[in-house]
A and B are shown apart, each in its own frame.
Chain A
């Protein structure tokens, strides 16, 4: 159950650590009230919170286009997609709360910049083609990342990922379909698609995180089976998956080193600009300040609604209690 994490951490010699290790080794799931090492709990809270924050901030780049969508059909689709992103954030916050995290506290941490979200959402959406490319690349990359997380060792996280993955498929397909439509359009529309591809390709590759040799926490996460594949392996899968889709669409991926490697049976590709990733993570991306300001404003502007709803609930509860007392008094 959420919010009741109980089972205070105890030293390993009590056998708790052994039970935990055995559960992981048997590919069984760790559940909320189980004993777990502090580090496992901390790592999960950080990862799940960061993932939740990404979904919530991820509403912004595409949300900007809801009012500017070119047709009612596209508007309805985009609206549903952005609503899904909110839903994904909420599934994940709920999973984090099963570990004893507090929702309000997680929100505070995001707003104060003490917890991160995915670097990808700090890039601007300059044209409607960006909506399509985000669905294709960003949601495609998310699927590569998230499908293995459906087997993550922590039960509530894995179950949230199952729900999310089902919905991501719609996200990716609506994006690709949008781009196919634009590619059948005018020369200017095709150019807009290629321009969006050029801008989003490298940031999308960076979504998988730093290369394995610079990803110090990965080994422990994989030993705990929180994470199932390394950053580089997932990045490679994304490239292999995307290249034939780009060919079908008729766009060029902006990497001169990209080619099929017969021997490996996979694509070779260039190295993303890791210093750019570092800059964006550190807060110096094109839209970091804007995204944070918008999230903070939404939280602050919504405060009166939350307080009013709580006050209304308290009033209703008091009224119901008084009515019950009066009924009891009348009966006596």
Chain B
């Protein structure tokens, strides 16, 4: 740990792995792994995360390429969705005898 990058030491970079469990479902984050390049990341992901038919499709992406919101930002960041109750169907009063609405 003397300031050299992991790659310089021969260590492989970190990838995040997303698996589509079956057709019709989204890819879901399942974990991470190390690999020398994208192609190796895919085959490692297959061996590590789909040994029992857990997936029909895999995405891998270098962890450093992911941009994420932080917990600290949470309240103000998600504020725009908190104060618009009129976006929900239950906001509207419709008489019970109106059918199919």
Contact = CB atoms under 8 A, between A and B. Distances in A.
Nearest to B66: A1
Given A6-B70, A35-B71, A306 B32 contact: no
A25 interface: no
Contact of A1 (B37, B52, B63): B63
B36 interface: yes
Contacts of B71: 7, 31, 33-35
A7 B9 contact: no
B48 A90 contact: yes
A3 interface: yes
Nearest to A170: B52
B40 A97 contact: no
Contacts of A6: 70
Interface of B is mostly: mixed
Interface in A83-125: 83-84, 87, 90-91, 94-95, 97-98, 102-105
Interface in A156-190: 156, 159-160, 167
Chain A, interface size: which category?
Answer: 35 or more
Contacts, number: 78
Interface residues of B, number: 27
A316 B37 contact: yes
B68 interface: yes
B36 to A, nearest CB: 4
A13 B99 CA distance: 55
A3 B14 contact: yes
Nearest to A83: B51
Interface string B1-30: 100001101111010100000000000000
A7 B74 CA distance: 12
A313 interface: yes
B33 interface: yes
Interface string B57-77: 000000110101011100000
Interface of A: 1-4, 6-7, 31, 33-35, 83-84, 87, 90-91, 94-95, 97-98, 102-105, 156, 159-160, 167, 303, 306-307, 309-310, 312-314, 316-317
10 shortest A-B CB distances, which residue pairs?
A313-B37, A309-B36, A307-B10, A313-B36, A2-B32, A94-B32, A94-B31, A104-B11, A34-B71, A3-B63
21 contacts: A1-B16, A2-B32, A4-B63, A4-B68, A7-B71, A33-B70, A35-B72, A87-B51, A90-B33, A90-B48, A91-B48, A102-B6, A103-B14, A104-B6, A306-B12, A306-B36, A307-B10, A310-B7, A310-B12, A313-B37, A313-B40
